[in-house]
Chains A and B, each alone.
Chain A
Amino acid sequence: MEYILEMKNISKIYGNGIAANRDVNFNLKKGEIHALVGENGAGKSTLMKILFGMEPPSQGEIILKGEPVRFSSSKDAIAHGIGMVHQHFMLVESFTAAQNIILGMEPKKGAFVNEAEAVRFIKDLSKKYNLEVDAEAVTRTLPVGVKQKIEILKALARGAEILILDEPTAVLAPQETDILFEELIHLKEQGHTIVFISHKIPEIKKISDRITVMRSSRTVGCYETKDVSEKEISNLIMGCEMDTSIEKSSPKPGDIKIRVSGVSYTDKNKVKVLKDVSFGVRSGMIFGIAGVQGNGQVELVDLMTKRRSLREGDILLGGKSVKDMSVRDIRKMQFGYIPEDRIEQGMAAHESIGENIISNRYDTKEFCKNGLLDYKEIKKFAEENIREYEIRCSGSDQNVGMLSGGNMQKVVVGRECSHEPEILIAEQPTRGVDIGAAYIIHKKIMELRDEGCAVLLVSADLNEALKLSDVLAVMYDGEIVAYFDNTEGLNEEKLGLYMLGLDRHDKETVRRAENE
């Protein structure tokens, strides 16, 4: 028995007709760390959902320890010793760490849960695997790294021998990643098999024993990590030597278009999530904000776009305070906003591409005459966008919800960028989209900047932040802790120190972010 697990000829076709896996093959050896790599949308997550019993495969078989198995739910998979740590944590925020770990396997005392026993069990478990957590802390209050530990403990508590980690480093700063890697190696030494999903090649090189590469829903192949170079992995992922570098001319800054001064914000849990944030963005430049997620970026953008109301400090867009404007007033300016969560905020999933792509100016003369919408004009406009952004769809009548993630994002970007905005807020503009779409989106943002748009780029993807930004600020714990007026010589390790609050610039340097 060479493999602990084999997945043979797996195919998966979703209800909307999208094929996420076609004839995929994947195998694991006991006690290895196996990297599953590929671009967003290559089918990695789907394959793992099938392995974890969350989705039934349309075709194919799974052989675990020599026995064919069929999982009808994640419960089956768990019973067979498979555990998964999802990219978006599966934790009940109002529960304690102990409640989350023990959920579904609670020790009983009579009719009730034996809570003391649960806490004891978790203390033993975290000692055994060297994963320390405070069992009685409420999950909502814990930092991302600890939540990830809870997730790993959850899987281990259920006897997971095979542990799937879906992009575990996406939410971590580089230094936290190092700690995670130590923990994973410790687990490997104890005989656990680990599937590590990622698209960051240096990480994969560092941690994995073998690599399986996926590209456009198929497996490209499986390799010994030591036999392939970073460059080779990259070529396998892309399929061809696609040039995704963006030409960046030197910026020509103009007037201040976005002015944030002295903004603080206290959220409904009485936590001060923004502390005296000030900066300015001039036209013709990209102002990047980097930082681990959850350090106040979301709240900052929400205040700028009136999703939350501003109480301390002021924000001027094009010289006017957002306090004096409604969302509609802001929209009436040449303003574009690519939101972080395209599905929740950026689209009406059950409406057509055409209806979605005009939502920021459905009542302008262009599309609306005497209160009636001009559907011919809308169709024309939608089709122009479909061509320009290479949106893969069956036509402008197709519902946006039926598109793949990357194509949905192109609809959003098309809408927000095709009216020559003077101000653009781009919040994680390429999160979860495939490389082709990311390239198109990056190119468009750069084009707008060259035309004189003031761009605020908020990104947790350091690669993206470094690639696009003219100037870069780092946010940590609701503050701007570092500011760089150019990105030359900057790298992820260096930024990581600021992102984790291990280092900070002096007040004078940070003040330069105001771009006076």
Chain B
Amino acid sequence: MKAFTDLIFTTDFFYSILRVTTPLLFASMAAVVSDVAGVPNIALEGIMLIAAFAGMFFSYLFESALAGLFFALFFAVLAAGVLAFFTLYYKTNIILGGIAINSLASGGTIFFLYLVAHDKGTSVSLASKVLPNVNIPFIESIPIIGPVISGHNVLTYLAVASVVFTYLLLKRTALGWHIRAVGEKPDAADSVGISVTKTQAIALIISGVMCGFGGAFMSMGYVSWFSRDMVSGRGWIALAAEAMGRQHPLGTAATSLLFGVADALSNAVATLGWPSDLVKTIPYCATLLGLAIFSIRAYKRAKAA
């Protein structure tokens, strides 16, 4: 137990919480924007995976992390665009469309990984780049807080900004109002000449951009390579966080942080020699448990009303 507490109460551990929450924040904000627009994007997982691969590959190809980021975003938007095209124009069921994109991402990235790296596991043989870490002046020198808050990957700070962005977008901007209107009552939006399809497409693209950042972080920040199915369920955890945050950006961010803690914990205790097969399931167990508790409470509340 002592070993456990020693592990938890360190600045390293708290630092790692922010680090592992980064992709969850991006993905859960992507979930918020698309879900509020009435097009629940369940392809978060796949889009992040595609972005992670593109980021790795193009940063290797152009020997530039920035190029990697650009192409990660480009391919994420492309994938979100394909999803939008099929669900909005061809009326593919949004859930099935999401399943298709996820399957495409999972197999497609391995397919291309093999073509470029002759390996179906990881891309370590390719010298890809990572995005820089940022030390925040003043804050970095504050004891305890400094080492936790400063020195993160640039995308970690962007993830926090994405929460503020999502909040302001939905609350204060015209586009945000349109997104909300389209999600709550599409006919109302249509009756004033707001194109439902176009607005939902924009929402999906925005969620694609956020997944792009999340995916880029995975292969160019969290680690410095791509490995098969490396997003490993984060897209789904983000969906659970969004449901529990009741579509609200701040509530969703808080829930994501909670799941981030579970993730950080599973990474930390792995060093204690606990059975790794089981330790790896901690984030999923936490999500399942969280979703179960949330649903049961919501059910009881609805029944009591």
Residues of B within 8 A of A91 (CB): 185, 188
Residues of A within 8 A of B63 (CB): none
Whether B184 lies near A104 (C-beta < 8 A) is: no
A100 at the binding interface (Cβ < 8 Å): yes
Q: B181's closest neighbor in chain A, by CB?
A: A92
Nearest Cβ on chain B to A244's Cβ, whole angstroms: 33
Residues from chain A with Cβ under 8 Å of B188 in the complex: 90-92, 100, 103
Among A60-68, A71-79, A178-186, A387-395, the stretch that binds chain B is A71-79
Which of A80-110 touch B at CB < 8 Å? 84, 86, 88, 90-95, 99-100, 103-106, 108
* Residue of chain A at shortest CB distance from B192: A104
Q: 8 Å CB contacts to B: which residues of A405-422?
A: none
From residue A48, how far is it (CB to closest CB) to chain B in Å?
12
Does any Cβ of A come within 8 Å of B189's Cβ?
yes
Interface residues in A88-134 by Cβ distance below 8 A to B read: 88, 90-95, 99-100, 103-106, 108, 111-113
Q: Which residue of A lies closest to B305 (CB)?
A: A268
- In the complex, what residues of B have CB within 8 A of residue A88's CB? 187
**A154 lies within 8 A of chain B by Cβ:** yes
Contact: A112 with B173, CB < 8 Å? yes
Write the chain A residue with the least CB distance to B301: A268
Q: A103-B188, A103-B192 are in contact. Are A113 and B172 (CB under 8 A)?
A: yes
B174 contacts chain A at the CB level, 8 A cutoff? yes
Q: Which of A91, A93, A270 has the most CB of B within 10 A?
A: A91
CB-CB contacts below 8 Å: A35-77 with B: 54, 73-75
A158 interface residue (CB < 8 Å to B): yes
List the B side residues contacting A2 at CB < 8 Å.
none
Contacts of A270 in B (CB 8 A): 305
Are B181 and A103 interface neighbours, CB within 8 A? yes
Interface centre among A75, A104, A112 (most CB of B within 10 A): A104
A90 touches B184 (CB 8 A): no
- Across the interface, A86 reaches (CB within 8 A) one of B172, B191, B303, namely B191
- Minimal beta-carbon separation of A119 from chain B (angstroms): 15
Within the complex, the shortest CB–CB distance from B182 to chain A, in Å, comes to: 9
Residues from chain A with Cβ under 8 Å of B193 in the complex? 73-75, 78-79, 104, 158
Whether B14 sits at the interface, judged by CB under 8 Å, is: no
**Known contacts A112-B173, A113-B172; A103 and B184 CB within 8 A of each other:** no
B181 close to A154 (CB less than 8 A): no
Given A106-B174, A112-B172, A268-B305, the answer on whether A90 and B180 have CB atoms closer than 8 Å is: no
Give Cα distance in the complex from A91 to B192, angstroms.
10
CB distance from A126 to the nearest CB of B (A): 17
Which residues of chain B have C-beta atoms less than 8 A from A99's C-beta?
A: 177
Number of interface residues of A (CB under 8 A): 32
B185 x A92 contact (CB < 8 A): yes
Closest chain B CB from A99 CB (angstroms): 7
> Given the complex of chains A and B, what is the CA–CA distance between A111 and B180 in angstroms?
17
A355 to B178, CA, bound (A): 40
Q: Complex Cα distance A86/B191, Å?
A: 9
- Whether a CB of chain B sits under 8 angstroms from the CB of A232 is no
A270 to B194: give the CA distance in the assembly, Å. Answer: 33
Contacts of B190 in A (CB 8 A): 54, 73-74, 90
Within the assembled complex, what's the spacing in Å between the Cα atoms of A106 and B175? 10
> Which residue of the partner chain, among A54, A92, A108, contacts B174 with CB atoms under 8 Å?
A108
In the bound complex, what is the Cα–Cα distance between A111 and B173 (angstroms)? Answer: 6
| Minimum Cβ distance to chain A for residue B180 (Å) | 7
Chain A residues, CB < 8 A from B185: 90-93
- Chain A residues with CB under 8 Å of B195's CB are 73, 75
**A515 and B121 alpha carbons, distance in the complex (Å):** 79
Complexed CA–CA distance, A75 and B187 (Å): 13
Q: Judge if A267 is at the interface, Cβ distance under 8 Å.
A: yes
- Cβ of A104 and Cβ of B178 under 8 Å apart? yes
Q: Given A92-B180, A267-B305, A268-B305 in contact, is the A113-B173 Cβ separation under 8 Å? A: yes
What's the Cα separation between A79 and B192 when bound, in Å? 10
Q: How far is the CB of B239 from chain A (nearest CB, A)?
A: 22
Cβ distance A294 to chain B, nearest Cβ, rounded Å = 17
If A73-B195, A92-B184, A113-B174 touch, whether A103 touches B189 (CB-CB below 8 Å) is yes
Residues in A neighbouring B181, C-beta threshold 8 A? 92, 95, 103
1/0 contact trace for B272-305 toward A, CB 8 Å?
0000000000000000000000000000001101
In whole angstroms, what is the CA distance A108 to B175 when docked? 11
Map CB proximity to B onto A258-295 as digits: 1 under 8 Å, 0 otherwise: 00000000111010000000000000000000000000
Bound Cα distance A154, B181 (Å): 15
Cβ-defined contact, A93 with B187, below 8 A: no
Least Cβ–Cβ distance between A344 and chain B, in angstroms: 15
A95, closest chain B residue (CB): B181
Chain B residue, CB-CB nearest to A78: B193
Closest residue of chain A to B191 (Cβ to Cβ) is A90
- Which A126-165 residues have a C-beta within 8 angstroms of B? 154, 158
Complex: A440 Cα to B113 Cα, angstroms: 68
With A and B bound together, what is the CA distance between A86 and B194 in angstroms?
A: 16
Knowing A73-B193, A91-B188, the reply to whether A103 touches B305 (Cβ < 8 A) is no
Instruction: Check if A158 sits within 8 Å of B192, measured CB to CB.
Output: yes
* A100 to B, closest residue via Cβ: B188
Which residue of A74, A103, A105, A113 has the most chain B CB atoms within 10 A of its CB atom? A103
Residue of B nearest to A270 (CB): B305
Pick from B178, B187, B191, B302 the residue with the most CB of A within 10 Å: B191
CA distance A92 to B180 in the complex (A): 9
> Chain B 45-89, CB within 8 Å of chain A: the 1/0 string?
000000000000000000000000000000000000000000000
Q: Which residues of A contact B305 (CB under 8 A)?
A: 266-268, 270
**Which residues on B sit within 8 Å (CB–CB) of A267?**
305
19 A-B pairs (CB sep. < 8 Å): A73-B195, A74-B190, A78-B193, A79-B193, A84-B191, A86-B191, A90-B191, A90-B192, A92-B188, A94-B180, A103-B181, A103-B189, A104-B178, A104-B192, A104-B194, A105-B192, A113-B173, A154-B191, A268-B305
The 10 closest A-B pairs by CB, nearest first: A75-B193, A90-B191, A104-B192, A268-B305, A106-B174, A90-B188, A112-B172, A104-B194, A92-B181, A78-B193
List residues of B whose CB falls within 8 A of some A CB.
Answer: 168, 172-174, 177-178, 180-181, 184-185, 187-195, 302-303, 305
List 10 other contacts, CB 8 Å, given A74-B193, A78-B193, A111-B172. A74-B192, A78-B192, A92-B180, A92-B181, A95-B180, A100-B188, A104-B189, A104-B194, A112-B168, A266-B305
